[in-house]
Structure 1
Amino acid sequence: MFRRREPVPFAFIADADKFRSNVEPPPRERASVSQLAGRGMIGLVVVAGLVGSLLFGLPALQPPDGAGQQQSQAEGR
């Protein structure tokens, strides 16, 4: 249950700071033309969806035009 900590010499810790690996990760593969086109299409679909929702949602957020006129007519009678 409890782990016993072994004492570590200070020299070992100091050497660990100086160590650098000479192993490099492989280079990333370049995206093909079809992958770039697919990413572009996904981006366009997302932007078009946001613009469409904005265009359809703005009229719903505005107050109705006839509401103010109906109240003023009722008050005049």
Structure 2
Amino acid sequence: MNTTLRTKGKMLINRKTLLAMIPLSDRVIYNMEKRGDFPKRIALTSRNVAWDLSEIEEWIDIRKSSGDQAARPGSTLQVSYA
């Protein structure tokens, strides 16, 4: 099964391909999209969406180069006032 669609120099990937690239759940990706922390999906039909592969690759590159570590759930920041 072809999981990509090439159009005008852009390559679109489906959810299955995205989840193979980004080991996060659908819900986490959806929430990140809503916050503006992840590339937006493109609605192809009322029941089918895709993502621009170049935007996903750019997001991965930015994450790799940022060096930021994600905060662990439930962890709090230690602040000392001297």
TM value normalised by structure 1: 0.26
Looking at secondary structure, tell me which structure has more helix per residue: 1
Larger Rg over CA atoms: 1
Q: Which has the higher contact order (CA 8 A, sep 6+)?
A: 2
TM value normalised by structure 2: 0.24
